A and B are shown apart, each in its own frame.
Chain A
Amino acid sequence: MDVADVAVRLLAVLLAFLLLPLLVGQGEHKVMAHMQGRVGPMHAGGFHGWAQLVADGVKFVQKEDTIPAGADRRIFQLAPAVALIPYLVVIVAIPLGPDGMVGQVLDAGIFFVLAVLGVGVLGSLMAGWASANKYSLLGGLRTAAQLMAYELPLLLSAASVAMAAGTLSLTGILGAFEWWWVPWQLIGGLVFFTAGLAELQRPPFDAPIAPEEIVFGAYTEYSGLRFAFFLLAEYAGIVVVSALTAVLFLGGWHGPFADQLGWLWMLLKTAALCFVVIWARVAWPRLRADQIQQFAWTVLVPLALAQIALTGVVKVVTS
Protein backbone atom coordinates (compact mmCIF):
# COMPACT_ATOMS: atom_id res chain seq x y z
CA MET A 1 0.00 0.00 0.00
CA ASP A 2 1.72 3.20 -1.12
CA VAL A 3 1.49 6.66 0.36
CA ALA A 4 -0.90 8.05 -2.28
CA ASP A 5 -3.34 5.20 -1.72
CA VAL A 6 -3.33 5.77 2.05
CA ALA A 7 -3.81 9.51 1.55
CA VAL A 8 -6.79 8.99 -0.76
CA ARG A 9 -8.42 6.59 1.70
CA LEU A 10 -7.91 8.90 4.67
CA LEU A 11 -9.26 11.83 2.68
CA ALA A 12 -12.36 9.84 1.74
CA VAL A 13 -12.88 8.88 5.41
CA LEU A 14 -12.50 12.52 6.47
CA LEU A 15 -14.95 13.67 3.80
CA ALA A 16 -17.50 11.06 4.87
CA PHE A 17 -17.02 12.15 8.48
CA LEU A 18 -17.57 15.82 7.68
CA LEU A 19 -20.35 15.46 5.12
CA LEU A 20 -22.64 12.58 6.13
CA PRO A 21 -23.48 13.88 9.65
CA LEU A 22 -24.49 17.23 8.13
CA LEU A 23 -26.74 15.47 5.63
CA VAL A 24 -28.37 13.54 8.47
CA GLY A 25 -28.76 16.75 10.49
CA GLN A 26 -30.42 18.55 7.60
CA GLY A 27 -32.53 15.44 6.95
CA GLU A 28 -33.66 15.53 10.56
CA HIS A 29 -34.73 19.17 10.25
CA LYS A 30 -36.83 18.49 7.17
CA VAL A 31 -38.16 15.00 7.96
CA MET A 32 -39.23 15.96 11.48
CA ALA A 33 -40.87 19.12 10.18
CA HIS A 34 -42.91 17.32 7.53
CA MET A 35 -43.92 14.57 9.96
CA GLN A 36 -45.25 17.27 12.28
CA GLY A 37 -47.07 19.19 9.54
CA ARG A 38 -44.45 21.99 9.31
CA VAL A 39 -42.09 22.87 6.47
CA GLY A 40 -38.89 23.28 8.51
CA PRO A 41 -36.03 25.60 7.46
CA MET A 42 -36.86 27.29 4.13
CA HIS A 43 -34.70 30.42 3.85
CA ALA A 44 -31.00 29.69 4.30
CA GLY A 45 -29.42 29.03 0.89
CA GLY A 46 -32.65 29.52 -1.02
CA PHE A 47 -33.79 26.05 -2.11
CA HIS A 48 -35.73 24.47 0.79
CA GLY A 49 -33.23 25.81 3.33
CA TRP A 50 -30.44 23.48 2.24
CA ALA A 51 -27.75 25.67 3.85
CA GLN A 52 -29.41 25.79 7.29
CA LEU A 53 -26.65 23.76 8.97
CA VAL A 54 -23.94 25.88 7.34
CA ALA A 55 -25.64 28.93 8.85
CA ASP A 56 -25.85 27.10 12.19
CA GLY A 57 -22.13 26.33 11.97
CA VAL A 58 -21.29 29.99 11.37
CA LYS A 59 -23.47 30.94 14.32
CA PHE A 60 -21.74 28.42 16.61
CA VAL A 61 -18.28 29.69 15.62
CA GLN A 62 -19.25 33.28 16.45
CA LYS A 63 -20.62 32.46 19.90
CA GLU A 64 -18.53 33.05 23.00
CA ASP A 65 -16.87 29.92 24.35
CA THR A 66 -17.80 30.14 28.04
CA ILE A 67 -16.32 28.04 30.82
CA PRO A 68 -18.08 28.06 34.22
CA ALA A 69 -16.01 29.52 37.07
CA GLY A 70 -16.30 26.37 39.19
CA ALA A 71 -15.50 23.97 36.37
CA ASP A 72 -12.42 21.81 35.98
CA ARG A 73 -11.11 23.80 33.02
CA ARG A 74 -8.83 21.34 31.26
CA ILE A 75 -11.21 18.39 31.41
CA PHE A 76 -14.12 20.62 30.47
CA GLN A 77 -12.23 21.74 27.36
CA LEU A 78 -10.99 18.28 26.46
CA ALA A 79 -14.36 16.52 26.69
CA PRO A 80 -15.85 17.47 23.27
CA ALA A 81 -12.76 16.15 21.47
CA VAL A 82 -12.92 12.86 23.39
CA ALA A 83 -16.57 12.55 22.41
CA LEU A 84 -16.02 13.33 18.72
CA ILE A 85 -12.74 11.71 17.63
CA PRO A 86 -13.76 8.03 18.18
CA TYR A 87 -16.44 8.37 15.47
CA LEU A 88 -13.85 9.63 13.01
CA VAL A 89 -11.61 6.67 13.85
CA VAL A 90 -14.45 4.15 13.52
CA ILE A 91 -15.38 5.21 9.98
CA VAL A 92 -11.95 3.95 8.86
CA ALA A 93 -13.04 0.34 9.38
CA ILE A 94 -16.52 0.43 7.81
CA PRO A 95 -16.57 -1.10 4.30
CA LEU A 96 -18.38 0.95 1.66
CA GLY A 97 -18.14 -1.40 -1.31
CA PRO A 98 -16.63 -4.68 -2.57
CA ASP A 99 -12.97 -5.18 -3.56
CA GLY A 100 -11.28 -3.22 -0.80
CA MET A 101 -13.51 -0.14 -0.84
CA VAL A 102 -12.77 0.41 2.87
CA GLY A 103 -10.43 2.70 4.78
CA GLN A 104 -8.48 -0.14 6.35
CA VAL A 105 -9.20 -3.88 6.54
CA LEU A 106 -8.91 -4.97 10.17
CA ASP A 107 -8.69 -8.56 11.33
CA ALA A 108 -10.87 -7.93 14.38
CA GLY A 109 -13.05 -5.24 12.79
CA ILE A 110 -16.15 -5.72 14.98
CA PHE A 111 -14.07 -5.56 18.12
CA PHE A 112 -12.26 -2.45 16.92
CA VAL A 113 -15.48 -0.64 16.06
CA LEU A 114 -17.34 -1.49 19.29
CA ALA A 115 -14.27 -0.83 21.45
CA VAL A 116 -13.61 2.61 19.98
CA LEU A 117 -17.31 3.54 20.10
CA GLY A 118 -17.27 2.80 23.84
CA VAL A 119 -14.48 5.34 24.35
CA GLY A 120 -16.65 8.20 23.02
CA VAL A 121 -18.88 7.96 26.07
CA LEU A 122 -15.93 8.99 28.24
CA GLY A 123 -16.37 12.44 26.65
CA SER A 124 -19.93 12.75 27.98
CA LEU A 125 -18.83 11.56 31.42
CA MET A 126 -15.95 14.02 31.54
CA ALA A 127 -18.28 16.82 30.47
CA GLY A 128 -20.89 15.82 33.04
CA TRP A 129 -18.43 15.81 35.91
CA ALA A 130 -16.24 18.77 34.95
CA SER A 131 -19.11 21.24 34.43
CA ALA A 132 -19.70 21.71 38.19
CA ASN A 133 -23.44 21.65 37.55
CA LYS A 134 -25.95 19.30 39.14
CA TYR A 135 -27.92 18.83 35.93
CA SER A 136 -24.70 17.92 34.13
CA LEU A 137 -23.80 15.48 36.87
CA LEU A 138 -27.24 13.85 36.66
CA GLY A 139 -26.89 13.62 32.88
CA GLY A 140 -23.45 12.06 33.23
CA LEU A 141 -24.75 9.51 35.73
CA ARG A 142 -27.61 8.53 33.45
CA THR A 143 -25.24 8.32 30.50
CA ALA A 144 -22.95 5.92 32.35
CA ALA A 145 -25.82 3.76 33.61
CA GLN A 146 -27.39 3.60 30.15
CA LEU A 147 -24.10 2.78 28.44
CA MET A 148 -23.36 -0.09 30.81
CA ALA A 149 -26.84 -1.55 30.32
CA TYR A 150 -26.82 -1.41 26.52
CA GLU A 151 -23.20 -2.38 25.87
CA LEU A 152 -24.07 -6.01 26.62
CA PRO A 153 -26.92 -6.54 24.09
CA LEU A 154 -24.92 -4.59 21.51
CA LEU A 155 -21.92 -6.92 21.90
CA LEU A 156 -24.05 -10.08 22.07
CA SER A 157 -25.98 -9.32 18.89
CA ALA A 158 -22.77 -8.41 17.05
CA ALA A 159 -21.24 -11.66 18.33
CA SER A 160 -24.14 -13.55 16.74
CA VAL A 161 -23.22 -12.22 13.28
CA ALA A 162 -19.55 -12.99 13.90
CA MET A 163 -20.55 -16.57 14.76
CA ALA A 164 -22.63 -16.83 11.59
CA ALA A 165 -19.80 -15.60 9.38
CA GLY A 166 -17.01 -17.32 11.29
CA THR A 167 -14.90 -14.17 11.29
CA LEU A 168 -14.55 -10.91 13.24
CA SER A 169 -13.56 -8.88 10.18
CA LEU A 170 -16.24 -6.57 8.76
CA THR A 171 -15.12 -7.19 5.18
CA GLY A 172 -14.97 -10.92 5.91
CA ILE A 173 -18.55 -10.86 7.23
CA LEU A 174 -19.76 -9.15 4.05
CA GLY A 175 -17.80 -11.65 1.97
CA ALA A 176 -19.63 -14.54 3.64
CA PHE A 177 -23.05 -12.87 3.53
CA GLU A 178 -26.06 -14.71 2.03
CA TRP A 179 -29.52 -13.19 1.57
CA TRP A 180 -31.16 -15.55 4.08
CA TRP A 181 -29.00 -14.08 6.85
CA VAL A 182 -31.43 -11.17 7.01
CA PRO A 183 -34.36 -13.24 8.37
CA TRP A 184 -31.96 -15.51 10.29
CA GLN A 185 -30.34 -12.59 12.15
CA LEU A 186 -33.48 -10.44 12.27
CA ILE A 187 -33.86 -10.47 16.07
CA GLY A 188 -30.18 -9.71 16.52
CA GLY A 189 -30.46 -6.86 14.03
CA LEU A 190 -33.37 -5.30 15.92
CA VAL A 191 -31.50 -5.66 19.22
CA PHE A 192 -28.31 -4.16 17.75
CA PHE A 193 -30.10 -1.19 16.20
CA THR A 194 -32.12 -0.49 19.36
CA ALA A 195 -29.08 -0.78 21.60
CA GLY A 196 -27.15 1.46 19.21
CA LEU A 197 -29.93 4.03 19.45
CA ALA A 198 -29.68 3.88 23.24
CA GLU A 199 -25.87 4.24 23.17
CA LEU A 200 -26.30 7.38 21.09
CA GLN A 201 -28.88 8.66 23.60
CA ARG A 202 -31.30 9.32 20.80
CA PRO A 203 -35.03 9.48 21.53
CA PRO A 204 -36.80 7.49 22.93
CA PHE A 205 -33.64 6.73 24.96
CA ASP A 206 -32.65 10.35 25.57
CA ALA A 207 -33.25 10.54 29.31
CA PRO A 208 -29.54 11.44 29.85
CA ILE A 209 -29.93 14.68 27.85
CA ALA A 210 -33.68 15.34 28.28
CA PRO A 211 -33.80 19.09 27.44
CA GLU A 212 -37.12 19.67 29.25
CA GLU A 213 -36.01 17.93 32.43
CA ILE A 214 -32.27 18.24 33.07
CA VAL A 215 -31.46 20.89 30.43
CA PHE A 216 -29.33 18.80 28.05
CA GLY A 217 -27.58 16.91 30.85
CA ALA A 218 -23.83 16.76 30.40
CA TYR A 219 -23.89 19.53 27.76
CA THR A 220 -25.75 22.14 29.85
CA GLU A 221 -22.74 24.41 30.34
CA TYR A 222 -21.34 24.14 26.82
CA SER A 223 -21.72 26.84 24.21
CA GLY A 224 -20.29 27.80 20.85
CA LEU A 225 -17.96 25.47 19.00
CA ARG A 226 -17.59 22.94 21.81
CA PHE A 227 -21.35 22.43 21.95
CA ALA A 228 -21.35 22.08 18.16
CA PHE A 229 -18.75 19.30 18.52
CA PHE A 230 -21.09 17.38 20.81
CA LEU A 231 -23.92 17.81 18.29
CA LEU A 232 -21.63 16.68 15.48
CA ALA A 233 -20.67 13.65 17.55
CA GLU A 234 -24.36 12.76 17.91
CA TYR A 235 -25.00 12.90 14.17
CA ALA A 236 -21.75 11.13 13.31
CA GLY A 237 -22.92 8.49 15.79
CA ILE A 238 -26.21 8.09 13.90
CA VAL A 239 -24.27 7.55 10.66
CA VAL A 240 -21.89 5.05 12.28
CA VAL A 241 -24.59 2.99 14.01
CA SER A 242 -26.76 2.93 10.86
CA ALA A 243 -23.80 1.95 8.69
CA LEU A 244 -22.79 -0.79 11.13
CA THR A 245 -26.33 -2.18 11.24
CA ALA A 246 -26.38 -2.15 7.43
CA VAL A 247 -23.04 -3.98 7.28
CA LEU A 248 -23.77 -6.57 9.96
CA PHE A 249 -27.44 -7.32 9.37
CA LEU A 250 -28.52 -6.00 5.95
CA GLY A 251 -25.62 -7.16 3.81
CA GLY A 252 -23.87 -3.83 3.30
CA TRP A 253 -22.95 -3.48 -0.37
CA HIS A 254 -24.79 -6.66 -1.46
CA GLY A 255 -27.57 -6.01 -3.97
CA PRO A 256 -28.21 -6.12 -7.72
CA PHE A 257 -25.12 -5.09 -9.74
CA ALA A 258 -23.05 -5.09 -6.53
CA ASP A 259 -19.80 -4.97 -8.49
CA GLN A 260 -20.55 -1.54 -9.89
CA LEU A 261 -23.22 -0.19 -7.54
CA GLY A 262 -22.12 -1.73 -4.23
CA TRP A 263 -21.29 1.65 -2.68
CA LEU A 264 -24.73 2.94 -3.67
CA TRP A 265 -26.51 0.03 -1.95
CA MET A 266 -24.46 0.62 1.18
CA LEU A 267 -25.30 4.34 1.19
CA LEU A 268 -28.99 3.64 0.53
CA LYS A 269 -29.26 1.13 3.36
CA THR A 270 -27.44 3.50 5.72
CA ALA A 271 -29.70 6.39 4.69
CA ALA A 272 -32.84 4.28 5.22
CA LEU A 273 -31.68 3.38 8.75
CA CYS A 274 -30.82 7.03 9.49
CA PHE A 275 -34.38 7.86 8.45
CA VAL A 276 -35.68 5.30 10.96
CA VAL A 277 -33.55 6.92 13.69
CA ILE A 278 -35.14 10.30 12.94
CA TRP A 279 -38.59 8.73 12.69
CA ALA A 280 -38.17 7.19 16.16
CA ARG A 281 -37.60 10.66 17.59
CA VAL A 282 -40.90 11.88 16.21
CA ALA A 283 -42.87 8.72 16.92
CA TRP A 284 -42.13 7.87 20.55
CA PRO A 285 -42.18 9.80 23.83
CA ARG A 286 -39.10 9.69 26.04
CA LEU A 287 -38.65 6.67 28.29
CA ARG A 288 -37.91 7.23 31.98
CA ALA A 289 -34.42 6.32 33.18
CA ASP A 290 -35.72 3.24 35.06
CA GLN A 291 -37.78 2.11 32.05
CA ILE A 292 -34.63 2.35 29.94
CA GLN A 293 -32.78 0.08 32.36
CA GLN A 294 -35.68 -2.37 32.54
CA PHE A 295 -35.94 -2.56 28.75
CA ALA A 296 -32.24 -3.36 28.40
CA TRP A 297 -32.03 -6.08 31.03
CA THR A 298 -35.42 -7.76 30.67
CA VAL A 299 -36.02 -7.47 26.92
CA LEU A 300 -32.86 -6.86 24.90
CA VAL A 301 -30.40 -9.09 26.76
CA PRO A 302 -32.67 -12.20 26.67
CA LEU A 303 -33.48 -11.55 23.00
CA ALA A 304 -29.79 -11.23 22.15
CA LEU A 305 -29.04 -14.48 24.01
CA ALA A 306 -31.90 -16.21 22.15
CA GLN A 307 -30.46 -14.98 18.86
CA ILE A 308 -27.03 -16.39 19.77
CA ALA A 309 -28.63 -19.76 20.60
CA LEU A 310 -30.52 -19.71 17.28
CA THR A 311 -27.35 -18.79 15.38
CA GLY A 312 -25.44 -21.59 17.08
CA VAL A 313 -28.12 -24.21 16.33
CA VAL A 314 -28.46 -23.24 12.66
CA LYS A 315 -24.69 -23.07 12.30
CA VAL A 316 -24.21 -26.57 13.72
CA VAL A 317 -27.09 -28.05 11.70
CA THR A 318 -25.96 -26.58 8.35
CA SER A 319 -22.26 -27.22 8.69
Chain B
Amino acid sequence: MTGGNAYLSPSGQEIVFVLVGLVVLGGAVLCVTSRQLVHAALWLVVALGGLAVQYLLLTAEFVAWVQVLIYLGSVVVLLLFGLMLTKAPIGPSPDADSRNRPVAFVVALAAAATLVTLVVDAFRTAWIDLDTPHGESGPIGSSLFRVWVLPFEALSVLLLAALIGAIVVSRKRDGES
Protein backbone atom coordinates (compact mmCIF):
# COMPACT_ATOMS: atom_id res chain seq x y z
CA MET B 1 0.00 0.00 0.00
CA THR B 2 1.19 3.49 -0.73
CA GLY B 3 1.39 5.95 2.19
CA GLY B 4 -1.58 7.23 4.12
CA ASN B 5 -1.64 4.29 6.53
CA ALA B 6 -0.13 5.65 9.70
CA TYR B 7 -0.64 5.07 13.39
CA LEU B 8 -0.52 8.81 13.98
CA SER B 9 -3.41 11.06 12.87
CA PRO B 10 -6.02 8.28 12.92
CA SER B 11 -9.30 8.55 11.02
CA GLY B 12 -12.67 8.84 12.75
CA GLN B 13 -13.41 5.19 12.07
CA GLU B 14 -10.17 4.12 13.75
CA ILE B 15 -10.90 6.23 16.83
CA VAL B 16 -14.38 4.69 17.15
CA PHE B 17 -12.83 1.25 16.67
CA VAL B 18 -10.46 1.79 19.60
CA LEU B 19 -13.24 3.20 21.81
CA VAL B 20 -15.57 0.28 21.10
CA GLY B 21 -12.63 -2.05 21.68
CA LEU B 22 -12.21 -0.54 25.15
CA VAL B 23 -15.92 -1.10 25.82
CA VAL B 24 -15.56 -4.75 24.74
CA LEU B 25 -12.54 -5.19 27.00
CA GLY B 26 -14.35 -3.56 29.91
CA GLY B 27 -17.44 -5.71 29.40
CA ALA B 28 -15.32 -8.86 29.20
CA VAL B 29 -13.37 -8.04 32.37
CA LEU B 30 -16.56 -7.22 34.29
CA CYS B 31 -18.11 -10.42 32.96
CA VAL B 32 -15.44 -12.60 34.59
CA THR B 33 -15.01 -10.52 37.76
CA SER B 34 -18.69 -9.85 38.60
CA ARG B 35 -19.88 -11.80 41.64
CA GLN B 36 -23.49 -11.75 40.41
CA LEU B 37 -24.20 -14.51 37.92
CA VAL B 38 -26.87 -12.76 35.87
CA HIS B 39 -24.85 -9.54 35.76
CA ALA B 40 -21.96 -11.56 34.36
CA ALA B 41 -24.23 -12.88 31.59
CA LEU B 42 -25.42 -9.35 30.81
CA TRP B 43 -21.85 -8.01 30.69
CA LEU B 44 -21.23 -10.80 28.20
CA VAL B 45 -24.01 -9.22 26.10
CA VAL B 46 -22.12 -5.93 26.16
CA ALA B 47 -18.85 -7.59 25.14
CA LEU B 48 -20.39 -9.66 22.33
CA GLY B 49 -22.51 -6.75 21.09
CA GLY B 50 -19.40 -4.56 21.02
CA LEU B 51 -17.67 -7.20 18.90
CA ALA B 52 -20.58 -7.02 16.44
CA VAL B 53 -20.04 -3.26 16.22
CA GLN B 54 -16.34 -3.88 15.52
CA TYR B 55 -17.28 -6.18 12.62
CA LEU B 56 -19.56 -3.45 11.28
CA LEU B 57 -16.76 -0.89 11.50
CA LEU B 58 -14.58 -3.26 9.46
CA THR B 59 -17.45 -3.41 6.88
CA ALA B 60 -18.11 -7.10 7.62
CA GLU B 61 -21.87 -6.54 7.73
CA PHE B 62 -22.96 -10.17 7.35
CA VAL B 63 -20.63 -11.45 10.07
CA ALA B 64 -21.87 -8.72 12.39
CA TRP B 65 -25.53 -9.75 12.04
CA VAL B 66 -24.63 -13.42 12.44
CA GLN B 67 -22.78 -12.47 15.63
CA VAL B 68 -25.89 -10.72 16.96
CA LEU B 69 -28.22 -13.54 15.88
CA ILE B 70 -26.17 -16.43 17.27
CA TYR B 71 -24.44 -14.97 20.29
CA LEU B 72 -26.81 -12.32 21.59
CA GLY B 73 -30.06 -13.88 20.40
CA SER B 74 -29.37 -17.53 21.17
CA VAL B 75 -26.29 -18.23 23.30
CA VAL B 76 -26.99 -15.56 25.92
CA VAL B 77 -30.70 -16.45 25.98
CA LEU B 78 -29.69 -20.06 26.62
CA LEU B 79 -27.32 -18.91 29.40
CA LEU B 80 -30.04 -16.81 31.03
CA PHE B 81 -32.46 -19.72 30.70
CA GLY B 82 -29.99 -21.94 32.54
CA LEU B 83 -29.44 -19.32 35.24
CA MET B 84 -33.19 -18.93 35.74
CA LEU B 85 -33.68 -22.70 35.97
CA THR B 86 -31.10 -22.83 38.74
CA LYS B 87 -32.74 -19.81 40.42
CA ALA B 88 -29.71 -17.52 40.28
CA PRO B 89 -30.22 -15.21 43.27
CA ILE B 90 -30.41 -11.43 43.10
CA GLY B 91 -27.21 -10.16 44.68
CA PRO B 92 -23.80 -11.82 44.92
CA SER B 93 -23.46 -15.62 45.02
CA PRO B 94 -20.32 -16.32 47.08
CA ASP B 95 -20.65 -20.11 46.74
CA ALA B 96 -20.17 -19.81 42.96
CA ASP B 97 -16.48 -19.02 43.51
CA SER B 98 -14.27 -22.03 42.78
CA ARG B 99 -11.18 -20.33 44.30
CA ASN B 100 -9.30 -20.87 41.05
CA ARG B 101 -8.86 -17.17 40.49
CA PRO B 102 -4.99 -17.13 40.35
CA VAL B 103 -4.85 -20.13 38.00
CA ALA B 104 -7.56 -18.66 35.77
CA PHE B 105 -5.70 -15.37 35.70
CA VAL B 106 -2.47 -17.03 34.59
CA VAL B 107 -4.25 -19.04 31.90
CA ALA B 108 -6.11 -15.98 30.63
CA LEU B 109 -2.93 -13.93 30.54
CA ALA B 110 -1.04 -16.66 28.68
CA ALA B 111 -3.84 -17.14 26.15
CA ALA B 112 -4.15 -13.39 25.58
CA ALA B 113 -0.39 -13.00 25.17
CA THR B 114 -0.23 -15.85 22.64
CA LEU B 115 -3.18 -14.56 20.63
CA VAL B 116 -2.04 -10.94 20.60
CA THR B 117 1.49 -11.92 19.56
CA LEU B 118 0.13 -14.21 16.86
CA VAL B 119 -2.32 -11.68 15.43
CA VAL B 120 0.13 -8.80 15.55
CA ASP B 121 2.82 -10.90 13.89
CA ALA B 122 0.51 -12.22 11.17
CA PHE B 123 -1.37 -9.04 10.26
CA ARG B 124 1.13 -6.30 11.12
CA THR B 125 1.46 -5.22 7.50
CA ALA B 126 -2.11 -5.93 6.40
CA TRP B 127 -4.45 -2.99 5.88
CA ILE B 128 -8.17 -3.14 5.26
CA ASP B 129 -9.51 -0.77 2.63
CA LEU B 130 -12.68 0.44 4.32
CA ASP B 131 -14.08 2.18 1.24
CA THR B 132 -15.12 -1.08 -0.42
CA PRO B 133 -17.29 -3.40 1.68
CA HIS B 134 -15.72 -6.81 2.32
CA GLY B 135 -18.35 -8.64 4.29
CA GLU B 136 -21.32 -8.82 1.91
CA SER B 137 -23.19 -12.09 2.05
CA GLY B 138 -22.49 -13.09 -1.57
CA PRO B 139 -18.66 -13.18 -1.40
CA ILE B 140 -18.73 -14.76 2.07
CA GLY B 141 -21.11 -17.48 0.88
CA SER B 142 -19.08 -18.35 -2.19
CA SER B 143 -15.76 -18.38 -0.32
CA LEU B 144 -17.30 -20.51 2.43
CA PHE B 145 -18.80 -23.11 0.10
CA ARG B 146 -16.15 -23.07 -2.64
CA VAL B 147 -12.83 -22.59 -0.84
CA TRP B 148 -13.46 -23.45 2.80
CA VAL B 149 -16.06 -26.18 2.42
CA LEU B 150 -13.90 -28.90 4.02
CA PRO B 151 -13.30 -27.03 7.33
CA PHE B 152 -16.99 -26.10 7.26
CA GLU B 153 -18.04 -29.75 7.02
CA ALA B 154 -15.49 -30.78 9.66
CA LEU B 155 -16.97 -28.20 12.04
CA SER B 156 -20.50 -29.45 11.35
CA VAL B 157 -19.41 -32.99 12.25
CA LEU B 158 -17.78 -31.65 15.43
CA LEU B 159 -20.97 -29.83 16.42
CA LEU B 160 -23.07 -32.91 15.68
CA ALA B 161 -20.75 -35.01 17.84
CA ALA B 162 -21.05 -32.47 20.65
CA LEU B 163 -24.84 -32.53 20.33
CA ILE B 164 -25.05 -36.31 20.49
CA GLY B 165 -22.55 -36.32 23.35
CA ALA B 166 -24.72 -33.87 25.29
CA ILE B 167 -27.77 -36.09 24.81
CA VAL B 168 -25.86 -39.18 25.94
CA VAL B 169 -24.41 -37.45 29.00
CA SER B 170 -27.75 -35.97 30.06
CA ARG B 171 -29.68 -39.26 29.75
CA LYS B 172 -30.17 -41.15 32.96
CA ARG B 173 -28.68 -44.62 33.05
CA ASP B 174 -30.83 -47.66 33.85
CA GLY B 175 -31.51 -48.21 37.53
CA GLU B 176 -30.56 -44.66 38.42
CA SER B 177 -33.59 -42.42 38.58
- Which A residues contact B (CB, under 8 angstroms)? 70-72, 75, 106-108, 111-112, 114-119, 121-122, 125-126, 128-130, 132, 137, 140-141, 144-145, 147-148, 151, 167-168
Contact = CB atoms under 8 A, between A and B. Distances in A.
Interface stretch (B15-23, B58-66, B156-164): B58-66
Given A118-B73, A144-B77, A147-B77, A112 B65 contact: yes
Interface in B18-55: 38-39, 42, 45
24 contacts: A72-B38, A107-B136, A107-B137, A108-B137, A111-B66, A114-B69, A114-B73, A115-B65, A115-B73, A117-B73, A118-B73, A119-B72, A122-B77, A122-B80, A129-B84, A129-B88, A130-B38, A130-B90, A132-B90, A137-B84, A148-B74, A148-B81, A167-B137, A168-B62
Given A106-B61, A107-B133, A108-B62, A144 B68 contact: no
Contacts of A129: 38, 80, 83-84, 88, 90
A88 to B, nearest CB: 16
B84 to A, nearest CB: 5
Contacts of B111: none
Contacts of B38: 72, 75, 129-130
A236 to B, nearest CB: 18
Contacts of A144: 77-78, 80-81, 84
Given A106-B61, A107-B62, A115 B88 contact: no
B84 A140 contact: yes
B6 interface: no
A314 to B, nearest CB: 20
Interface residues of B, number: 28
Contact of A137 (B87, B91, B136): B87
A125 B33 CA distance: 22
Interface of B: 38-39, 42, 45, 61-62, 65-66, 68-69, 72-74, 76-78, 80-81, 83-85, 87-88, 90-91, 133, 136-137
A72 B90 CA distance: 6
A118 B68 CA distance: 8
B74 A118 contact: yes
B42 A126 contact: yes
Given A115-B66, A137-B84, 11 more contacts: A71-B90, A108-B136, A115-B69, A118-B73, A119-B68, A130-B90, A132-B90, A144-B77, A147-B77, A148-B74, A167-B137
Nearest to A119: B72
What DSSP secondary structure best describes chain B's contact surface?
Answer: helix
Given A108-B137, A144-B84, A125 B61 contact: no
A179 B77 CA distance: 38
Contacts of B80: 122, 125, 129, 140, 144
A115 B61 CA distance: 12
A122 B65 CA distance: 16
A151 B90 contact: no
Contacts of A145: 81
A84 B68 CA distance: 17
A121 B77 contact: yes
A115 B66 CA distance: 7
B69 A111 contact: yes
B76 A148 contact: no
A196 to B, nearest CB: 15
A101 B66 CA distance: 26
Contacts of B73: 114-115, 117-119, 121, 151
Contacts of A132: 90
A125 B133 contact: no
Contacts of B72: 115, 118-119, 122
Contacts of B69: 111, 114-115, 118
